[in-house]
Amino acid sequence: MNFSTVKFPLYAKLAFVLISLSIITLTLYFGKHILIPLLLSLLFAILLRPLVIFLNIKLKLPHVIAALISVGIFVICVSAIILFISWQVSDITNDWKKITQNISVHYEHIQHWIKQRYHLSYNKQDNYIQQVRNESINGDSELISNTLNSFTDTLLNTILIPIYTFLILLYRNLFIKFLSKLVQKKNESTLHTILSQIKTVVQSYIVGLLIEMGVVGVLTSVGLMLLGVEYAILLGVITAILNLIPYIGILIAAIVSILATLVNSSELSAIIGVILLNVVVQFIDNNILVPRIVGNKVRINALVSMVGVVIGGSLAGIAGMFLAIPLIAILKVIFDRIEILSPWGYLMGDDLPKTYTWNKLVLPDYNQGNYTEQEAKPPHIPIKKE
C-alpha cells in the first residue's frame, strides 16, 4: 500500500507544534506524581547500567542478581549520605540556643541601624514584624497540609524509585524491542544510534555532576575550616547536594552556612567571610567546573537551560528543576537525528563560537561573522553646512 506525503503550510505546522507542546505540558503537570519517579528511575538506571554489565559479564552473575546488587549499592550510598547529614544535623539542633542568641544580637544591630537611618522607633519596627506574623498565620493550615503532602510523596518515592530502577534495568531489552517495533525496518539503525547517544549523554552528564559535586564539597569544606566554622564537612556536603538545584541551590546553601556560623560567632565579619566564600566557590563552579566538566557533556545553550529549569520548577518543583537539563539533552539528541525536527535541535544547541580580540581580551564572537560588510560600517550622517 502506497502512502502519499501530505504537505502542510507553515502556519499549520506551527499550530501542530503548539498543540503538541500544550498536550505534553498538561500531561507533565497533571501526571507529575507518576512521571517524575519514573524519569528519575530512568536516569539512575542509565547511570547504573555499566555496573550491571560489569557484574553480569565480568563476574558471570545472572542479570537479575547483577541488577539487584547494583540497585542495592546505589541505595546504600544514598542512605549513607542521608544518615551522615541526619547525624550532623542532630548536633546542630543541640546548639540551636546559641544560634538564636547570636541571631538576636544581629537583629538588635539591624534595629539600631534602621532607627538611626530611617528614624523608625523600636516599637514601630516590632509592630510591623507582628503584622507580618499575623498575616502569615492565616496560611499556616495550608502550609501544614502542603508539608504533609510533600512528606508523603517523598516517602512514597523513596520506596518506588529503587523498585522502578531495578525493573527498568531488568526489562531493558524488552523496552528496546518495543521501540524497534514502533519504527520501520529502515529506521531501526537510527533508533539504535539515538538510544546509544542518549545513554552516553546521560551517563556523561551525571558522572560530570558527581565530579562537580565532589569538587564543590571539598572547596566549601576547606574554606569553612579555614574560617573556623563548625560542621564544615557537613556544610560542604549540603552545599554540594544543593548545587544540583540550578540557580537557587547555592543560595539555600549560603543561608544554611550562615546559620551554622552563628554557633560560634556573632561577629558580622564571620558572616561576610562565609558569603564571600560562597561567591568564590560559585564563581569557580560556573566558570571552570561547569564548562569543562559538565558543559563538555551536554551542549545546550544557556537560554534554553534557564528556561527549561524555570519550566521544570513550575511543573514539578525541585525534582523538575533537576530533571530539566538531562531531559533537554535527551530531546536534543532525538531532534538532531530526525530531519524534520533538526532545526529545533540546532536551536537548543550551543555552537562553539569563534573568538576575536578586543583590547587584548579574547571574547566569543556569537555573531560568527553574520554581519555584512555594509552593516558593520557605522551609519553615515550628513552634516549640514550653515
Q: What is the pLDDT of residue 64?
A: 92
CB 232 within 8 A of CB 245: no
CB atoms within 10 A of CB 221: 20
What are the φ and ψ backbone dihedral angles of 22, each rounded to 5 degrees? Answer: -65, -45
- Which three cell numbers mark 281? 566557590
222 by DSSP, 3-state: which?
helix
Q: What is the pLDDT of residue 330?
A: 86
CB 89 within 8 A of CB 237: no
Q: pLDDT (tens digit, 0 to 9) for every residue of the chain, 386 residues total?
A: 444 456 777 777 778 878 887 888 888 888 888 888 898 899 899 889 999 999 998 888 999 999 999 999 999 998 888 888 777 777 667 766 776 776 777 677 777 777 777 777 777 777 777 776 666 555 444 444 444 455 456 666 778 889 999 999 999 889 888 888 888 888 788 888 888 888 888 888 888 888 888 888 899 999 888 888 877 888 888 888 888 776 677 778 888 888 777 766 667 777 888 889 888 888 888 777 776 666 555 677 778 888 888 888 888 777 888 888 888 888 888 888 877 778 888 888 876 555 656 655 555 555 654 544 444 445 554 555 54
CB 208 within 8 A of CB 243: no
Helix, strand, coil share of the chain (percent; to 5): 80, 5, 20
Give the residue extent of every domain in the chain: 34-123+157-170
CB 343 within 8 A of CB 55: no
CB atoms within 10 A of CB 199: 15
Q: How far apart are CA 234 and CA 87, in angstroms?
A: 10
Q: What is the pLDDT of residue 1?
A: 40
CB 289 within 8 A of CB 219: no
pTM value? 0.70
- Half-sphere exposure at residue 233, Cβ-oriented, CA atoms within 13 angstroms: 5
